[in-house]
Each structure stands twice: as C-alpha cells, then as structure tokens.
Structure 1
Amino acid sequence: MTLDTVKHAAGTPDVSQPWKELGLKEDEYARIREILGRRPTGAELAMYSVMWSEHCSYKSSKVHLKQFGEKAPESDALLVGIGENAGVVDVGQGYAVTFKVESHNHPSYIEPYQGAATGVGGIVRDILAMGARPVAVMDPLRFGAADHPDTKRVLPGVVAGIGGYGNCLGLPNIGGEVVFDSCYQGNPLVNALCVGVMKHEDIHLAKASGTGNKVILYGARTGGDGIGGVSVLASETFDSTGPSRRPAVQVGDPFQEKLLIECTLEIFRENLVDGIQDLGGAGLSCATSELASAGSGGMRVELDRVHLRDATLSPEEILMSESQERMCAIVEPGKVDRFLEICEKWDVIATVIGEVTEGSQLEIFWHGEQIVDVPPRTVAHEGPVYHRPYERPSWQDALQADDANKLARPANSDELRAQVLKLVASPNQASKSWITDQYDRFVQGNTILAQPEDSGMVRIDEETNLGVAVATDGNGRYAKLDPYAGAQLALAESYRNVAASGAKPLAISNCLNFGSPEDPAVMWQFAEATRGLADGCLELGTPVTGGNVSLYNQTGETAIHPTPVVAVLGVIDDVTRRTPVAFAEEGQLIYLLGETREEFGGSAWSQVVHDHLGGLPPVVDLEREKLLGEILIAGSRDGMIDAAHDLSDGGLIQAVTESCLRGGKGARLVVPDGLDAFTFLFSESAGRAVVAVPRSEELRFTDMCGARGLPATRIGVVDGTESDSTAVVELQGEFSLQLSELREAHEATIPGLLA
C-alpha cells in the first residue's frame, strides 16, 4: 500500500480524497486544508473526521453550552469543572468525588449488548482517568413502546450488556431510570453514569507536559472493532431500514477493564504519571491530540509500535479505532521501567509509542515515514463552530393549547380506583425489578441505597460513614411541551431525589439527548433546554461539572422528544441517617409537603388513561425546591422523618403506593381541604414530597416547616401489614385497595411484556 505521507501530500494538492464519506462537510475539508496549508494526508483526514464529528467536537452545541460556564454559580465544592474527562467536587474529610454521565445511544440500537456494555466501560475509564477509584454506576434508559417487537430485541440486550459488564467489574449499579415511549422507537437512549472517589491530592488531568516524557499506550490490543464507532454513529440519523453498521460498534472485555483499573490505580499510588487520558470516542486520534493540545509542547508518536489485534489494520484505521479497555499515559523517562513492571504484574500490555517534544506539532510516524503533522489544538479543541438556525416550531402553540387539564376525569369512585390500578401497572410506573435484579446493586458492601430508592447512595469512608448520593432524571414529555421548563423540571426532580434521601446537592452532570441539529425546531428545543438548565443551576447553586450532548437521535424525519437527563450529586455526612422510601412503622403520620395544583400537562395520568400529550408542564419554582430540600435534609439529619419520597411521575398515589410496597405497610389517606380526590391523587405539581413522621416528632417537624414557610399537610397514617393481609391503600370515602392487589399490578407488567 502506498502511504499518503506529509511530504507527498504537500506536493500533490489535487489528489481526490474521501472527505465526504468520512462525514466531513465541504467547508470543513476546505478549513483543514487552510489550517495545514496543503491537503491532509490520509491519516490526518481520518483524525480530523472523527475529532470534528458532532460527538467529539460539539460543533452544533458549544455555542449554547458556554452558558454553563457563563452562568455558573459560585461553589466552594467545585475542584475540576467542564473540560476534563469528568468533573470533581470536594465532599469533605479530604475526599473528592468525580462523576459524569454520557450517551451510547446509537451503538446500543445497532448492537444492544455491546453498545450498552461498552458505554459502561467508557464512562468508567473517564472516571479512572481523573485519578479516582470507580465505586458505582447508574444507567438512565429510554426505549420505544413497551409492547413493540423491537423493544423486545433492544431492551434485554441493553440490560444484559449493562449488567454483564458492570457486574464483572464489581461495580454496584445503584440507580437510573427506565422509560418507555414510542418516540424512542429506533432511537433508544442508553446513558451511563459513573461515580469515583479519591483524595484531593490524587486528581489527575489529561495533559502532555515535560519535554522528553514518554507516551505509553497500555491496555487491550487495538482491533478493527469500533472504527469510527461512536464518533461517526452519533453524528448521523438512522434511516427507516433499521440496524446497520454493525462493525462500527465496539466490543467490550470487562475482565480486561478490571485489570486496567487495578493496574492504573497502582500506577497512581506510586505517582508514575504526569498526564493520562482514556481511549474512548475517536480512539488514539482523541487521546494523542487532546493530551498534546492541553500540554506544554508537541508530541511525536510512532504508530507502528501500537499493539494490534489485527495486523492488517492501516494507519488510518489504527487512529480511528475505538477498541475498548485502553489508556494513554505521559510518564517521565526515569519512571518508565516501573510503569511497565506494574503493567506486566497485572498482565496489561504496555508500549512506549512516543514522547513529548519541544515543538508545537503533533507528529505521527509509520515505519519511519511521517504521516501526520498537525497543530493539535486544531484537531482537539478548535474544530468547527456552528451557529445553527433555530426557530420555535410551528406546532408548539397548538400542542400547548391542547390542555390536558380538560381531559375527561373519573366519574365516580369505581373509575378512580380503576385508574389508580391502571396507572401503577403501566410500563413507566410499574416495578422495574425484572431489569434491576440483573444488576449487582450491593457488591463491595458500601451501597446504602439503590433502586428503587429516590437516589443511589454509597458510603465512601467506613470509619466516618461519609457518603454521596446520586440521582438521574429527565422527562421528555415535559420537555416536548416546554423545553425550558422541562429541563428545569428534570433538574428539580433530580435535586429533590437527592435531598429526599438526606444528602445535600452539590453539583450536576448532564446528558442532553435531542434530534437532528439541522432541524431548526430541534435546535430551538436544544437552545431552550440548555438555557433553562443553566438558569436553573445558577438559582439552585449547583454548577455543571461536565456531561455529554447526543444529537441526531431520530429516524428519518421523526425526532425523539427532547430529553435532557440531569444527574445531581450530593453529600451526606453520616449514611446511617439516610432516609429511605419505605413506610416501615405502623402509626407513623403521612405528611404531604408543598402545594398541589391542577397540573396534568405531560402527566403519567394523561398518557396512561388518555394516550395524550398536550398543555403545559407543571410550574417550576426553584426557590421552593431549595426550601423543600433544606427541610428534607434537616428532617433526615435530626431524626424527624423516617421515610421520604419525592412526588413526580404519577403524582401522590404513585409515590404512596411505592412507599407502601417497599415497606410492606398500608396507608389510610384523606383528601385535604381545598382539593378534590382526583387532583390529590394524580396531579404532578413540582416541589412536593411525601414523608412519614413518627408521632413523637410531629410537633417538632411541623414547627420547622411552619417557621420556614413550607406547606405541610397531614394526609394520613401508615396502617396495616402486608404479611398478615391487613395492609390496604385506602382513600377515605372513595376506595380501598389491598396491598397484595397493588403489588400484583405493579410487579407483573414488565415480566409479562418481556418474558
């Protein structure tokens, strides 16, 4: 094969190149030629094509994402913000926690098992690259209609991939979501989150500094799987013909990743690296260009030294391969031998493939011939910036005018009872234990709360019981009705879930899942959601530490609902004081915190009973969310509440049902003055939670709420035990449901659909 070397490229400007086939636009190719002052070599063209893809460069979204920095609230906790592999926050006692959520949507549709598995592997390496030990994972998932045949293809594979990879790594899966909606047919959303823990002094950054320092590639061999994988797949829409491009999906090996984790942590303990980067999207193209771009000089790489799984790979393929379980480290010459010794101990292949140079260029050689000579920032950080046109959709007004509050409501108590059963048995509100039971939630022994709790919680110090809680939320139906409010509602719900468990929210990560940026209506949704999230984080005081944008989530002309998924991380000083969801003690008083209004736009009730989407989502009051959070945290810390559950999808009856089922206890409820039974049960007004208060703490708790100005209404009592068949969920004057009947309805749906 004749190689397109730098020298040859400079002397043959008119050679035709496959820039279009690699996903580049004509003006982008022209810009590359302008940067280099010549046509690119084949290897350079490969690097620019993957690094300038939508997935890697954020070229359509970065003009909006800058708000997360411009509007960032002041935070003493933030140690590392946007721009690194993951954000880092201070949680006290010398500990730092890093967390991030990313997408692996398109690969998971094409090859569900490997797409989901390698999504977990990639986010774990992002956390590892910051210097942290990964301690937990979470997975917010969205699938098409629950009864659609293709959902039965995609969902089991995705769940098996997540469970198989995470379980093999020994990482507890402590939370996430599973949502079904026909808008995700053909475009499932597989978002993956990882949390890691380290001491402040152990933080590592992705940079290549120090002339003469060595560049070491270590981990799995590089193969042909994943060539252009995420970087290409996430930068285009699917057509209606279904799965294709199978060779582009990466193949994961969790056992290799486990060795890589332990090897890397030992390397960190001995302080052997000056900079480190995982190999994920865009593979070596990304790792080398980003390390060099963030460093103090240039870099020279001998590409033929890369350890291969397939000896027939071309230089371009090696640079584009997204093979998994690989890392790239910058190591001082005097530490190289020890670095390689540790890799050999853990049976991890490691090779010195280059070094940091005095110059400013990234230079790559293949068997002595120079095939790349580029300014690394132009590859990694100075890609295209698009100001995509955006416009409020012509259909938005009509959608909002189709008011869900006007839908037919139950005419009598029997209909009310029947709709409660239908709601709790609906796929989105039903138990997800068929899914979550395939994940190991308690491995390592430090899981304090896990699905189906409001947030996942892990202990990070066994002596002091310091812990962190994480929740992820996102309601695409709300965001379709109003993207600005929908993003803030996702933030508010995740914030509320963390506070309900007793932890103080500190920071967020996000995964912004949208349709094609080439559609002005989709870009309007994205711009509004991003603006809403930035404004909301400023008001709540929770900075954005990083995240991911996933665009082109659509089939043909049909885009998914705008789905901003928000992950909130909080800290709790003593995990033994956490608040679970379950009602566990008979006689405890049930209080509703917050105000209930007639708000049914985008609600679970409107979807389940009427298959309707229209109107406006619930009103967002972030000051009220902060106040509610403070009350929930104080109540947990001071022993005033024994159970708490946020109110969101499905309203109060869904929350009460889940708390009853979780604890095996019944609840007798009464409709408060000023509300009708239907609104009381099904409204999805935000800023609310239901709590169980010991009788001995009632006065202290209500005094605290009254002094702070938070409405707190006693709505019932915990009564009856499922084990002796005395447990019911009763609404006085309306209906009574045996807990056993609710459990059967709640737990049978998902196994019935997927068996």
Structure 2
Amino acid sequence: MSLADSDRELVVEELRREPTPAEAALFENLWSEHCAYRSSRPLLSAFESEGEQVVIGPGDDAAVVALPDADDAGEDERTYITMGIESHNHPSYVDPFDGAATGVGGIVRDTLSMGAYPIALADSLYFGEFDREHSKYLFEGVVEGISHYGNCIGVPTVAGSVDFHPDYEGNPLVNVACVGLTNEERLVTAVAQEPGNKLVLVGNATGRDGLGGASFASEDLAEDAETEDRPAVQVGDPYAEKLLIEANEVLIEENLVESARDLGAAGLGGASSELVAKGGLGAHIELERVHQREPNMSALEILLAESQERMCYEVAPENVERVEEIAAKYDLGCSVIGEVTEENYTCTFEGETVVDVDASFLGEGAPMNDLPADDPDQPETDLPQADLEEAFETIVSSPNTASKRWVYRQYDHEVGVRTSVGPGDDAAIVAVREAGQGLAISSGAAPNWTDVAPYEGARAVALENAMNVAAKGATPLAAVDCLNGGNPEKPEVYGGFKGIVDGLADMCQTLGAPVVGGNVSLYNDSPSGPIPPTPTLALVGTKDGYDAPPLALEADPESELLLVGDVGLENGDIRLGGSEYLARFDGSDRFPTLPDDPAALVDAVAAIADDDSTLATHDVSHGGLAVSLAEMVTAEAGLEVSIPVPESADAGPAGVLFHEQPGRVLIQTTDADAVRETFDGVAPVVSLGTPTTDGKITIEAGTETITDDAETIRERRSVIEAELA
C-alpha cells in the first residue's frame, strides 16, 4: 500500500506534518476509487434518488424505502424495506469461493446495520465465455461460495442473473443485492449520535486477512493476481454471521444501538471513521483493545484488516454491559474499543498515538477526478445469413439464454417461508405479510446490450428489470445499482461508463423508480482488456397479495397468446444490435428502438398480469421472441404461432425472432379484447396463435417454419447443467 504523491501533498498540507504509516495507509484506502468514488461521483448526480416512498437514500450502508402498507396501518406502523448492493469482483477472481462468499456476508451486514432483518438475496454474475475452462472454474467457485454462505446464514437467494461474455475472461463480476425488513421503531443509521457514547466491536476476532482490500479493488488486475493478491481477499465464516444476525436482532429489539456500521472496506478504520464523520464528531480508539485472532498484530493491521463478520456499534455507557451479555450469549467476541468524542478521529496503540486526523477530511477530502470521455462508435449494420432452424437451435442452447437451473438449485430459496415465486421466473416474489404486499425482485444487466450501445443499452436494462416485475403483476417501487466499468483513465472506457450512468438514470426516472443506493466498481481491467460497461440493476416492485401468473403455458385451446409492445413489428424497423443472434453468428447492427411511453407500458403490463383472464405471462428479452416462446412450452402445453414479417425488415424472419428489444411481453389470455383495451394507445398488440395440448411448438415466421418439442427444447436449454453435472 502506498499513498499517491499528489494525495500525500494534500494530507501533509491538512495535517501540517507528514502522516504516520497508519494514517498514510488509512488515507490510501479511504481515498481509493473503491471508497471515495473519485471518478464516478461527478456523474452520480444524474440519478433521481428521492420520492415519497424513500426514507433514507444514498450514503448509508443501505437505503430504506417504505412499502404501501395495509389501509389500516398508521404512519408509525409503516413497514420498511432496506435495499443494498455491492460488488466483490477482484476478490472473486483471485479466490472465487471466498471472494463471492464474503460478498454475500458484507451486503447482509450492511442490512443489519440499518436495524433490518435480511429476507432475500439476488446475485448477478458475469464470466468469460462458457467454453473456456478458466471461466467454468470461476463460475463453479463463485456459485459454490454464494450458495454455501447464503444457505448457512438462512437468507434465501431468490433472484439474479448469469451472463457470459469474452471480455470478462480476465475479470469476472460478482454483484450481490440484499433486501431487509424493518420499521420506523427499529431503524438505525450510520450517523454517530453523542460524544461520550462507547464504540463497541462485536463479532469475529480480527486477523490479517483482507489487508488493503479497498486499494486492491481500485486497480487493474495483473497477470499474477491469483497468487500475489491472495492476502487482500477476506475469508468468511457464515456460522459466525448467522450468530451475528441473531445477536443484532436482539440488540435492535432491546433498543441498545445508537448507530451502527458494518466493517467492510478499510476495516475498523473505515467503519469507525465514517460513523463519526457522518455525525460531525470524532472518536478515540485504543487499538490494542480489539479482540484479535493472530499474535503480534501491528496498529496498521488492526486498523485496516477486513476480517469478516464484525460490526461497530455506538452504545450508550449504561447499555454496554447488556451488549456484552448478548454477545457472550451468541458466542461472539466483544470489545469496548473507544468512545465518540467532540473532535478529531484518534487511534492509539499501546500508549502511542498512531492516527490523529479530522474524520470529515479523512472521509470526504479526496479530490474528484476530471477525466476525458470519448463517445462510443456507432456500429454498422452487417447481418449474417444463418439458416433459421440452425439459428433457433443455437440460440436456445446458448449458455446466455439457456436454463440457469444448475445455479439456483444450489441455493436454498425457500428458507424463511416468504418465497412465493422463486428463481427461474421473470422475477421472484417474496411475501411481506407485515404489509400485505408481495415484493417482486429482479436483478441483472445485459453486457451484449451495453457493449454495443452503453446509453441505450443501460436504458434497456432498466426497462427490462421493470418489465420483469410487471409481468408478475407488480409496479416498480425503487432500485439500487452496481455500476461496473474498466479503467476510467482510458477515455473510451470512461465514455462507455458515463453512457451507462446516464442511460440507467434516464430510464429509472422515466419509470418513477428512484435509485436509492448503489455501488461503483471501476478498474475492472486485466491483461485481456476492459470489461463491457455493466450496469447491474436490482429493482423491486410491489403488488397486493403474493400470487402471480406463471411463466409456463396452460393447455387451454380456448385461450390466445398475444405479443405486446413489439415496436419493430409495428413500424418494420427491426434492429438486432446487442442480440445473442449477432454474438453467435458474428454480425453487427444498431440497438433496437425502445417503446415511446415505457412507464405507461409497465403499468399496463402489471395491471393485465393480475387480471383473472390472464393464464400466463413472460417477458421477452435475451434471445428474443424465439427463446421466450420456447421457454413457455411444456410437455402438456405446446404452441402453434404465426408471426408477421414486415417487408421492410432487413433481417427477415431472423430479425423478427431474435431481436431483443425490451418492453415486450407474451400474455396467454382467455379475454383478448380486454388485453387490447388495456394497451390501447400504449403499445401494439399482435395475436400469435393458440396453445395446444401436445407439447410441440410450431413457429411460422413469414414463409419459414420452425418445429420442435418441449422435451428437445428442455435438453437443449440444459447445456450448463449437462456440462457441469
């Protein structure tokens, strides 16, 4: 670890002396890109983060949003959810199991620090091409780490996504979101309250793991990262985390916590200094009081180690003894390490002062970067001429569009008995019985989209997540984002990153879904090059009740299958940019046009999904209409559909079947007139045909026909499971 010369000059000017080694390391970590957002913060004002439902927006460990409670609930009885998301990208490359596992642990503790109980996880994962052995090694390790940690702590992983793209080969992404449950009475923040209150460290003992993790996450991965950077990766203990979850619940119920902060990036130094800085206060900490698991630890190691399963609590002096009793009951370490003060943030070690700085300067003094940004080039149109049957078989069996059952069957998604709709559908639904609401959760991005068109692709990512929750009958409430990019010092990379920020911000504002928190991960560069700009969005929506129409068709010949929202079928301007079809058959094109009024479209989809005449719904996205139709077919319910092909469509039937314009949904209904009335003036509605009872699928697209059956499709879509079984 080393403090940059320009930053050292600012520190020396502020302190009027040279920093101590511990201070220099603390500034180096807290002023890193990972903690200070030096390259991204100037862009983040584009997001709308306010709304009547927003209780606490960006800046705390997690955001807090009020649910539309039952009609008889008073204002002080409102149910709140917390939302947070974080990345553990570099650690997951160096050590996929521990890197991913500790990512889960960290976002769960962010939830605990708000006085909330975690009720759901969503993981969005991005790897190099599936046919590469190293990608499969990382993939298997990451999934095992997430499943092990989440299953052990008893928090269900209910949603997420998996994408494969060649540019993640040297730098995979692991983005994990968590939703928690709380209310006004339980709510805690990371704002220190009063001088004289004690700072109490509860949880695992501190070791030497994770040293310099924040600075490690703020630089490009080198060729030797898997061996040289191993000490920067934390090691998780989910059983200790489970004890911490339950102990935290008792602390909150007994009103023993004044403020709290999870020990994540920059360890104790980061958590404690940020806690008091937010309250405009200081602290005095005696580092030798920290309970340790390794001998002869130095002040710097105690201060910056990112050992897991630790929380820093502000506790009134009269409550310290009770906190110690609760920690002992749950077999957790507990140290009274210092107290909140009026002024500076100071740390001593065996009687010697090793840190004496202004907490606000430490937390907010990092200068922002003013970086050049180049606009990305627009792709030219170069459409492949693939055989339609071959294209259908290839796209349906692509790892990107294939079933992700191999992943989510390893997760316990039913623990906690709240999961009404689990993984594998457009969105998960978790029952929040306290408010009589179903909470729909969708999480993911689309690297093919944002690689070809960062701004439009990011708008499409936001619309896609909103359509996922709408297809299950929910309307968007709020979102958190994880903005992943490469080295921002490269103008073309920073231009792409700026595009995804603006695109995500614009569409979320259009949809009325405030972005209430998030995470930024830059320097995702390696010897193989930068990652695609990747704007993971975790979006939640609400609905009355917990039921939702299924994705799979019902074998009802009296019903009709309708396609809603396909702009290209209406005007003939069908574009394949960002599609799996072009990725598999080596072509290029502009990104599709999105619907004119996406907010009205999302509201209408949510309304019709909850109508009694609706038998099944499925969002159309990755792989296009062909894949979505194939996913709806079962052994009991087949399809005979006919799709018009506009004469002006350059790609012909392939364009109609494989373009990936978001904002489309398939609806199986017994009342087609009601659907058309709902979408009148909002989006085009096209009748495709009727379900059958033979488990076969026949798709007529213009003059060409594709035939297949449910069993063959299931086998093709099991490519990941077959390869990794």
Bin for the TM-score computed over the shorter chain = over 0.9
Verify: 1:654 aligned to 2:663, yes or no. no
Percent identical residues: 39
Structure 1 residue 119: Cα displacement: 0.4
- 2:325 is paired with a residue whose SS is helix
TM superposition shift of 1:698: 2.6
| 2:723 counterpart of 1:753 | yes
Query: Aligned partners of 2:278 and 2:567: how far apart in 1?
Result: 51
Q: Could you report, residue by residue, the CA deviation over 1:610-649 in whole angstroms, capped at 9, with x for unpaired residues? A: 134x33212233x532122111211133323222111111
Matches within 5 A, 1:14-53: 22-53=1-32
Find the partner of 1:234 among 196, 209, 217. Answer: 217
Equivalent of residue 617 in structure 1, options 566, 586, 591: 591
Give secondary structure in 1 for the equivalent of 2:597. Answer: helix
Q: State the match for 1:628 in structure 2.
A: 601
SS for the counterpart of 2:640 is strand
* Deviation per residue, 1:402-421 (Å, 9 max, x gap): x1xx41334xxxx3222211
2:699 to 731, 734, 749: 731
**Residues 68-467 of structure 1: matches in 2 within 5 Å?**
68=47, 72=48, 75-93=51-69, 94-229=78-213, 231-241=214-224, 243-244=226-227, 245-358=229-342, 360-392=343-375, 396-397=377-378, 400-401=379-380, 403=381, 406-410=382-386, 415-461=387-433, 465-467=436-438
The question of 1:57 aligning with 2:30 is answered no
Whole-angstrom distance in 1 between the partners of 2:292 and 2:459: 46
CA distance in 2 between counterparts of 1:611 and 1:677 reads: 18
Residue 567 of structure 2 contacts residue 684 of structure 2 at CA under 8 Å; is this kept in 1?
Answer: no
Please report how far the alpha carbon of residue 492 of structure 1 lies from its aligned counterpart in structure 2 after TM superposition.
0.8
| Other-structure match for 1:476 | 447
Q: Is the Cα contact below 8 Å between 2:431 and 2:439 reproduced in 1?
A: yes
Aligned twin of 1:689: 665
1:738–1:637 Cα change, 3 Å: closer
Shift of residue 754, structure 1, vs aligned partner: 2.9
Which of 503-512 and 664-673 deviates more? 664-673
Asked if structure 1 preserves the Cα contact closer than 8 Å seen for 2:486 and 2:523, the reply is yes
In structure 2, distance between residues paired with 1:440 and 1:315: 40
| Contact 1:138-1:193 within 8 A present in 2 as well | yes
Q: Distance in 2 between matches of 1:551 and 1:170?
A: 31
Amino acid at match of 1:422: T
Gaps of 5+ in 2: 70-77, 569-573
**Matched residues in 1 for 2:698 and 2:674: separation?**
27
Do the aligned partners of residues 731 and 526 (structure 1) sit closer, same or farther apart at CA in structure 2, a change above 3 Å counting? same
Q: CA deviation at 1:596?
A: 4.1
Q: Is the 8 A contact 1:85 1:127 kept in 2?
A: yes
Query: What is the Cα deviation at residue 583 of structure 1?
Result: 1.3
CA distance in 1, matches of 2:63, 2:385: 46
Following the alignment from structure 1 to structure 2, what is the Cα–Cα distance between the partners of residues 263 and 132? 12
Measured against aligned partners, the alpha-carbon deviations of 1:335-382 in whole angstroms (never above 9, x if no partner) come to: 111111111111111111111112x21011112221111000111222
Structure 1 spans left out of the alignment, 5+ residues: 1-21, 721-725
| Structure 1 residue 252, shift from structure 2 partner | 0.2
The secondary structure found in structure 2 opposite 1:617 is coil
Aligned equivalents of 2:712, 2:288: Cα separation in 1: 65
1:666 is aligned, of 638, 644, 651, to 638
Q: Against the structure 1 CA distance between its residues 664 and 545, is the aligned structure 2 distance closer, same or farther, given a 3 Å change threshold?
A: farther
Q: CA 1:699–1:392 in 2, change beyond 3 Å: closer, same or farther? A: closer
Q: Which amino acid aligns with 1:485?
A: E
Q: Which residue does the alignment assign to 2:73?
A: none
- Partners in 2 of 1:616 and 1:674 — Cα distance? 18
Instruction: Provide closer, same or farther for how the CA distance between residues 447 and 147 of structure 1 changes in structure 2, counting only shifts above 3 A.
Output: same
- The question of whether the paired residues in 2 share the 8 Å contact of 1:210 and 1:296 is answered with no
Question: What is the SS of the residue equivalent to 1:353?
Answer: strand
* Cα distance between partner residues in 1 of 2:445 and 2:592: 14
Distance change in 2, residues 1:575/1:616 (3 Å): same
Partner of 1:679: 655
Residue deviations 1:107-160 (CA, integer Å, cap 9, x gap): 000000000000000011111111110001111000011011211221111010
Q: Which residue of 2 aligns with 1:16?
A: none
Mapped partners of 2:591, 2:446: distance in 1: 10
Write the letter of the residue equivalent to 2:696: V
Please tell me whether the aligned partners of residues 126 and 168 of structure 2 are also in contact (alpha carbons under 8 angstroms).
yes
Aligned residue in 1 for 2:687: 714
Secondary structure at the aligned position of 2:226 is classed as: coil
Conserved? CA contact 1:224–1:317, under 8 Å: yes
Aligned to 1:4: none
Quote the offset at 1:709 in angstroms: 3.4
Displacement after TM superposition at 1:241 (Å)? 4.2
Whether the 8 Å CA contact 1:473–1:491 is kept in 2: the answer is no
Matched, 1:535 2:506: yes
Q: Which of 536, 540, 548 is 1:565 aligned to?
A: 536
Counterpart residue identity of residue 77, structure 1 = Q
| CA RMSD after TM alignment | 1.7
Instruction: Report the AA paired with residue 578 of structure 2.
Output: G
Matched, 1:600 2:573: no
Deviation at 1:702, TM superposition (A): 2.3
Q: Secondary structure at the match of 1:237?
A: coil
Partners in 2 of 1:177 and 1:563 — Cα distance?
A: 13
Whole-Å separation in 2 of the counterparts to 1:314 and 1:74: 43
Deviations 1:212-266 (A, max 9, x none): 111000000000111112x022111122345231121100000000000110011
Letter in 2 for 1:37: R
- Structure 2 Cα separation of the partners of residues 689 and 101 of structure 1: 27
Separation in structure 2 between the aligned mates of residue 206 and residue 718 of structure 1, nearest angstrom: 54
Q: Distance in 2 between matches of 1:489 and 1:702?
A: 24
The structure-2 alpha-carbon separation of the partners of 1:709 and 1:487, relative to structure 1 and needing over 3 Å to count, comes to closer
1:98 Cα deviation after fit? 1.0
> Which SS does the other structure have where 2:429 is aligned?
strand
- Residue 195 of structure 1 and its aligned partner are, at CA, apart by 0.7
What residue in structure 1 maps to residue 675 of structure 2? 701
Contact 1:225 1:249 in 2 (8 A): yes
Q: CA deviation at 1:678?
A: 2.8
Give 1:9's aligned residue.
none
Does residue 637 in structure 1 map to residue 610 in structure 2? Answer: yes
Distance 2:390 2:332 in 1: 59
How far does the alpha carbon of each residue in 1:485-509 deviate from its partner, in whole angstroms, 9 at most, with x for none? 1111111111111111111101111
Query: Contact (CA 8 Å) 2:271, 2:312: kept in 1 or not?
Result: yes
Q: Which residue of 1 aligns with 2:711?
A: 740
Number of aligned positions between the proteins: 703
